[in-house]
Structure 1
Amino acid sequence: MSPELLLAFVLFAFVTSVTPGPNNMMLLASGVNFGVRRSLPHMLGISLGFMVLVIAVGLGLGELFRLYPPLYAALRYIGAAYLLYLAWKISHAGAPQGNDGSNAKPFTLLQAAAFQWVNPKAWIMAIGAITTYTPQENFLVNVVLIAALFALVNCPSVGLWTVAGSFLRRWLDNPRVLRLFNVGMALLLVASLYPILTDFH
């Protein structure tokens, strides 16, 4: 991979990772409700799960969806339904660290990694990375390189949202204000579905 292509890819990885989407909306809410330390498995799960997804797309899963579009359409509907379920859970989250007696827990590493497979934005990012930035020469090596670089850029990028959420905690001590925040995050999560599902062809 040439230095120019590498720089362009790192910029692509940063912009697509740091801009609003399902992962970042959930991490912002997690930062508010659980803090940075308890949200670390969620952050790492996103990056590791996405790395595996990029490798899978590079190894041919993306081509399978191109050949059989109904499979991808089904994935989008499943992903959208799951995002709506997560939005409902966020809107009903309790006070930070369960101070209201709720059993709310942050995502585990495996839950966050598995979520990437039904996250429409993650699929768009993975397909874009493979089709646009992966040189054909030594393709398999480049797929692994692209996936690893994406994970390295992705983790601190999404982490910014968790940190932002943790800074908001002090202003959200009031359960009523926290409730409004969580409902707002849930609505933003639902809104994040619209451009993702309409822009991809």
Structure 2
Amino acid sequence: MDTTTLTALALYAFVMTITPGPNNLMLTTSGLIFGMTRTWPHILGIPFGVAVQLAAVGAGLGAVFALEPRIQTGLKLVGTLYLLWLAFKLWRAAEVSDASLAKPVSFFQAAAFQFVNPKAWLIAVTVIAAFIKPGETYVAQLLLTSVMFTVIGIPCLAMWAAFGAGLRQVLHDPSKLLLINRTMAALAALTAGLFWL
């Protein structure tokens, strides 16, 4: 890849990772409920899942989606149901201490979620179409792209989790925690709706 393409790819990776989406909403919630330390597997699982997804799309899965759009519809449905389930759980959580019986998203759960996350599919398909050129260096370009998304993504993702963890430190009033949990629940439900626009 030439310098111009690398710069454009880096900017794209930053913008797509830092902007709100299902992953960032879930990380903020995890930071709030579980704290930063217990959220790290979730943070690290996302770029791993993205790398596997980029490899799958690069190997031709994007073409399968183009031929069979019902697969994408199925993935949207699963992603929507997962976010609505998350919204329901958040709505019912009265305070952070209620999370003692819950478990944070694991590394592999976070990686697997990328396969039902429409924003992640959009990123993968766009990256392969716009930044990866066919030819002898195709696999090297895919690897470089995965590394770039990981290096740029981890700090961006950690920022969202740290925001949630920061709220955890500040909010000790149960009524304020309830308000934050219900706000996050509403945002999760709205994000699920955005899958269908």
Scaled by the length of structure 1, the TM-score of the pair is: 0.91
Q: By how many angstroms is 1:145 displaced?
A: 1.7
Letter in 2 for 1:152: V
- Provide the rounded CA distance (Å) in 2 between the counterparts of 1:114 and 1:44: 12
Match of 2:196 in 1: 197
Q: By how many angstroms is 1:140 displaced?
A: 2.2
- Mark the CA change 1:195 to 1:101 in structure 2 (over 3 Å): closer, same or farther: closer
Letter in 2 for 1:86: L
Q: How does 1:138-149 map to 2 (within 5 A)?
A: 138-149=137-148
| Paired residue secondary structure (1:20) | coil
Contact between 2:80 and 2:195, CA under 8 Å: does it hold in 1?
Answer: no
Contact between 2:33 and 2:99, CA under 8 Å: does it hold in 1?
Answer: no
Contact between 2:87 and 2:188, CA under 8 Å: does it hold in 1?
Answer: yes
Contact between 1:13 and 1:154, CA under 8 Å: does it hold in 2?
Answer: yes
- Mark the CA change 1:7 to 1:159 in structure 2 (over 3 Å): closer, same or farther: same
Match of 1:131 in 2: 129
Q: Decide which moves more: 51-60 or 184-193.
A: 184-193
Residue-by-residue CA offset, 1:23-59 (whole Å, 9 max, x unaligned): 1011111111111111000100111111111111111
- Provide the rounded CA distance (Å) in 1 between the counterparts of 2:177 and 2:56: 39
- Provide the rounded CA distance (Å) in 2 between the counterparts of 1:3 and 1:133: 12
Q: How many residues align?
A: 196
Match of 1:10 in 2: 10
Q: Does 1:187 align with 2:181?
A: no
Contact between 2:45 and 2:109, CA under 8 Å: does it hold in 1?
Answer: yes
Q: By how many angstroms is 1:121 displaced?
A: 0.8
Q: By how many angstroms is 1:100 displaced?
A: 4.2
Match of 1:155 in 2: 154
Task: Name the Cα RMSD after superposition.
Answer: 1.6
Letter in 2 for 1:119: N
Q: Decide which moves more: 140-149 or 45-54.
A: 140-149
- Provide the rounded CA distance (Å) in 2 between the counterparts of 1:60 and 1:12: 22
Q: By how many angstroms is 1:101 displaced?
A: 7.3
Contact between 2:95 and 2:174, CA under 8 Å: does it hold in 1?
Answer: yes
Q: Does 1:169 align with 2:176?
A: no
| Paired residue secondary structure (2:196) | helix
- Provide the rounded CA distance (Å) in 2 between the counterparts of 1:196 and 1:14: 21
Match of 1:107 in 2: 105
Contact between 1:21 and 1:189, CA under 8 Å: does it hold in 2?
Answer: no
- Provide the rounded CA distance (Å) in 1 between the counterparts of 2:109 and 2:46: 9
| Paired residue secondary structure (1:197) | coil
- Provide the rounded CA distance (Å) in 2 between the counterparts of 1:156 and 1:55: 22
Contact between 1:53 and 1:116, CA under 8 Å: does it hold in 2?
Answer: yes
Match of 2:33 in 1: 33
Contact between 1:120 and 1:197, CA under 8 Å: does it hold in 2?
Answer: no
Q: By how many angstroms is 1:71 displaced?
A: 1.3
- Provide the rounded CA distance (Å) in 1 between the counterparts of 2:37 and 2:94: 18
